[in-house]
Amino acid sequence: MSPCKLQMEQRKGRRLILFPFPLQGHINPMLELANILHFKGFSITIIQTNFNSLNPSTHPQFTFHSISDDLSESEAAEDDLLLLLSHLNTKCSEPFRECLATLLSSLTEEPVACLICDPLFDFTQSVAESLKLPWILLRTSGASSTAVYSAFPLLWEKGYIPKQDSRLEETVTELSPVKVKDLPMIHSSDPERFFKLVRSITYETKDSYGYIFNTFEDLEQDALATIRKKFHIPVFPIGPFHKCVPATTSANSLLSQDRSCISWLNTQAPKSVIYVSFGSIAAINEAQFLEIGWGLANSKQSFLWVVRPGLVQGSEWLEPLPSGFLESLNGMGHIVKWAPQKEVLAHQAVGVFWTHTGWNSTLEGICEGVPMICIPFFADQMVNARYVSDVWKIGLQLEVGIKREEIERAIRRLMMEKEGEEIRDRVSKLKDMANLCLKQGGTSYQSLDDLINHILSLES
């Protein structure tokens, strides 16, 4: 039997249990990974929380189990992200343990090879260990920001954190070109919660059976090398996930996608549209919202803008915009509540992506070769934005915040000036690399093979 066939035979009858963290930017890559591993012959069980749960009927190829998270209405609507994380960690631990234990005792004919989980859940390690189940982490952020998180003890020691206003523009010598202002931070009523999170996504990783990344070697080689050196566990950069296997783009979406934007894009000239989206969590105030609106309108370029309900603090949706704002643009602007983003970025009409540089969005932009304007908000987004603007040089950062003149200038530089052409060339090259790494002999292709062999070698 050929090695490939032998591997396929071994995988049959092996089940993997995946436990996504219930936020859009974490659900997407975990479910994409589930599709990849299912395509490679594994049976897949997804354990999900009731909070932000997916409809199992959109994924008939997987078996779903829900656990009760018992979040109250106010806890589920919590604006303080770290507090929400803390509630989920407190309330899901026991239901998860019970669910996993029941599954392990019932799935005797199809042994469970391992658990794949998200380090944002801080209890999975102890639960898996107590049930003698190997566990592998999926890191849904990039390797570069993970390497920055792993340097936190050093950053403390050197006095870079807690951040001081007087040092924000200083480059962190050990992490150049990352600046002090780029160091990951999530504001919370209790700052200690953030450092607890950092500990969970760094130190506890060391004991896991492996680390999966949604990235590719050519994009983040140095950071991956740093992580390999620091953690001494197998590291598998097998991304970009969404390009590995075909999947329905709407199946993982918590909000319903408004497809009117695709019909609208069909009427626009190639590379003429700025696509604006700040992901599923970031929020802005009314003044910033108006600056964005006027910056886009004054640029005289067509734009597709995702204004998620909740994006503008204190507003339902578009009320802060002056009445007749869109109409006055004579069809040059289109606003939706949620878009089929991957399809939008792949559309020939899209010429620029104005993004908050969440890791999924950054990677999706790279995969379609779209130059970016970056406005990071929190956590890893600032590091991603620094890499986009200063390392890969595939976009521009709005360094002084959301101001209409700066928005207009960035759009002009990307769409009309030579600098924009050079940026477009560089991101096109990265797009080609992303495609190549998934082909036979490519780094992600090989790494996926290594991951599968690793999973098959695990004994629970």
- Cβ distance to ligand UDP smaller for residue 42 or 359: 359
- Cβ distance to ligand UDP smaller for residue 360 or 389: 360
CA atoms within 13 A on the CB side of 263: 4
Q: Which of 70, 32, 67, 43 is nearest to 253 (CA)?
A: 32
Q: Does 215 bind ligand UDP (CB under 6 A)?
A: no
Q: Does 310 bind ligand UDP (CB under 6 A)?
A: no
What is the Cα–Cα distance from 280 to 11, expressed in whole angstroms?
Answer: 35
Question: In whole angstroms, how close is the CB of 132 to ligand UDP at the nearest point?
Answer: 33
Q: Does 341 bind ligand UDP (CB under 6 A)?
A: yes
Stretch that binds ligand UDP, among 97-105, 202-210, 316-324, 334-342 (CB under 6 A): 334-342
Q: Does 86 bind ligand UDP (CB under 6 A)?
A: no
Q: Does 444 bind ligand UDP (CB under 6 A)?
A: no
Q: Which of 235, 249, 268 is nearest to 352 (CA)?
A: 268
Cis ω on the peptide bond leading into residue 162 (within 30° of 0)? yes
Q: Does 369 bind ligand UDP (CB under 6 A)?
A: no
- Cβ distance to ligand UDP smaller for residue 28 or 86: 28
Q: Which of 301, 265, 257, 32 is nearest to 140 (CA)?
A: 32
Question: In whole angstroms, how close is the CB of 2 to ligand UDP at the nearest point?
Answer: 36
Which positions from 114 through 143 interact with ligand UDP, judged by CB under 6 A? none
Please answer whether residues 159 and 168 qualify as being in contact, where contact means their C-beta atoms are separated by less than 8 angstroms.
no
Which positions from 223 through 282 interact with ligand UDP, judged by CB under 6 A? 253, 277, 279-282
Which of 11, 14, 18, 28 is the binder for ligand UDP (CB under 6 A)?
Answer: 28
Burial class (CB in 10 A: 0-12, 13-18, 19+), 137: buried
- Cβ distance to ligand UDP smaller for residue 134 or 333: 333
Q: Does 361 bind ligand UDP (CB under 6 A)?
A: yes
Q: Does 360 bind ligand UDP (CB under 6 A)?
A: yes
- Cβ distance to ligand UDP smaller for residue 28 or 226: 28
Q: Does 306 bind ligand UDP (CB under 6 A)?
A: yes
Q: Does 376 bind ligand UDP (CB under 6 A)?
A: no
DSSP string, 35-75: HHHHHTT-EEEEEEESTT---GGG-TTSEEEEE-----HHH
- Cβ distance to ligand UDP smaller for residue 212 or 281: 281
What is the Cα–Cα distance from 44 to 35, expressed in whole angstroms?
Answer: 9
- Cβ distance to ligand UDP smaller for residue 217 or 364: 364
Q: Which of 380, 407, 409, 410 is nearest to 396 (CA)?
A: 410
Which of 135, 194, 359, 387 is the binder for ligand UDP (CB under 6 A)?
Answer: 359
- Cβ distance to ligand UDP smaller for residue 43 or 302: 302
Question: In whole angstroms, how close is the CB of 13 to ligand UDP at the nearest point?
Answer: 32
Stretch that binds ligand UDP, among 208-216, 227-235, 313-321, 339-347 (CB under 6 A): 339-347
DSSP string, 398-423: -TT-S-HHHHHHHHHHHHHSHHHHHH
Please answer whether residues 375 and 278 qualify as being in contact, where contact means their C-beta atoms are separated by less than 8 angstroms.
yes
Cis ω on the peptide bond leading into residue 240 (within 30° of 0)? yes
**99: three-class secondary structure by DSSP:** helix
CB-nearest residue to ligand UDP: 25
Which of 10, 24, 50, 63 is the binder for ligand UDP (CB under 6 A)?
Answer: 24
Phi and psi at 257, nearest 5°, equal: -80, 135
What is the Cα–Cα distance from 245 to 445, expressed in whole angstroms?
Answer: 12
Q: Does 338 bind ligand UDP (CB under 6 A)?
A: yes
Token digits for 423? Answer: 């940026």
Contacts of 192 (CB under 8 A, 6+ apart): none
Q: Does 25 bind ligand UDP (CB under 6 A)?
A: yes
Question: In whole angstroms, how close is the CB of 418 to ligand UDP at the nearest point?
Answer: 29
Stretch that binds ligand UDP, among 184-192, 333-341, 423-431, 449-457 (CB under 6 A): 333-341
Which positions from 395 through 424 interact with ligand UDP, judged by CB under 6 A? none
Using DSSP bridges, classify how beta strands 63-67 and 112-117 pair: parallel, antiparallel or unpaired.
unpaired
**328: three-class secondary structure by DSSP:** helix
Which of 358, 371, 376, 420 is the binder for ligand UDP (CB under 6 A)?
Answer: 358
Question: In whole angstroms, how close is the CB of 424 to ligand UDP at the nearest point?
Answer: 21
Residues lying near ligand UDP in the complex (CB under 6 A) are found at: 24-25, 28, 253, 277, 279-282, 306, 338-339, 341-342, 358-361, 364
